[in-house]
Amino acid sequence: MEPSSLNFIFFNAFLANNFVLALFLGLCPFLGVSGKLDTAFPMGVATMFVMLISSVCAFFINQVLVAYGIEYLRLISYIAVIASAVQLVEMILKKFSPGLFRSLGIFLPLITTNCAILGLALFQTFKEYNFLQSMVYALGAGAGFTLAILLIAGLRERLDLASLPSITQGAALSLMIGGLLSLSFMGFAGLGS
């Protein structure tokens, strides 16, 4: 496949260079909200939505910044856009699904400091993707994030029923599972670049 083809970009972000398991982006929600499948899925979808919005915004902002030769403002303007996008999602959720809003709790505003989203905006700029490519890249990254968080949530739900040594209470076990998942995702490495 051509490295610039849309299929390639999607699967590269979705599997081969999965944002969570290969690039270590977005680990806070990955460890924090992955206790139950019921909260993991909306978290994944909310993140994907914010990713799409910020990807579009970042694309146009970058055009403006390059046109005026003020690329050093890139970081500041990206993070401002992401913060507003998160605020938007928060307001929408609060209006239409208050229960979900409460169960996501502190992790919803923390999407702002989810490095996966800022990382996506920066990577698409470095890779010089055009508009359509950026959108597909955001879609793939969001889907990859959702997949990773669903996988670990499913595993952790099962582990609740297992008897475990007492020292594995807490994040250590999640990290070990993450390591195993990451190991298996390395099998996709040949698909990407």
Partner 1 sequence: MLDDKITSHTFWEGVWENNPVFVMLLGMCPVLAVTNSTINALAMGLATLFVLLSSSLLVSLIRNWIPKQTRIAVFIIIIATFVTVVDYVIQAISLDLYNALGAFIQLIVANCMILGRAEAYASKVPPAKALINALGMGLGFTIALLCLGSVREILGSGTLLGFDLFGENYQQWIVMILPPGGFFVLGGWLLLFEWLRERKEQQEATSE
What mask, x for binding partner 1 by CB under 8 A, covers residues 134 to 173? Answer: --------------------------------xxxxxxxx
Between 5 and 164, CB nearer to partner 1:
164
Q: How far lies 57's CA from each of 4, 62, 81, 84, 141, in Å?
A: 21, 8, 7, 11, 16
Helices (H), ranges, the chain = 6-11, 27-32, 37-68, 74-96, 98-104, 115-126, 131-159, 171-185
Site size toward partner 1, by CB under 8 A: 43
Among 79, 100, 150, 159, binds partner 1 (CB under 8 A): 79
Chain residues 31-50 in contact with partner 1, contact rule CB under 8 A: 31
Compute the CA torsion angle 62, 117, 98, 155 (nearest 10 deg). 160
Between 72 and 96, CB nearer to partner 1:
72
What mask, x for binding partner 1 by CB under 8 A, covers residues 105 to 134? Answer: ----xx-xxxx-xxx--xx--x--------
- Residue 107 CA to its chain's centroid (Å): 13
179 touches partner 1 (CB under 8 A): yes
Between 7 and 168, CB nearer to partner 1:
168
Q: How far lies 89's CA from each of 33, 53, 119, 143, 159, in Å?
A: 17, 10, 19, 18, 32
| CB count in 10 Å sphere of residue 44 | 24
Over the Cα atoms of the chain, what is R_g? 17
Q: How many CA atoms lie within 13 A of 160 on its CB side?
A: 10
Among 131, 186, 187, 193, binds partner 1 (CB under 8 A): 186
Among 6, 45, 65, 83, binds partner 1 (CB under 8 A): 83
104 touches partner 1 (CB under 8 A): no
Among 37, 175, 187, 193, binds partner 1 (CB under 8 A): 175
Binding site for partner 1 (CB under 8 A): 21-28, 31, 72, 75-76, 79-80, 83, 109-110, 112-115, 117-119, 122-123, 126, 166-173, 175-176, 178-180, 182-183, 186
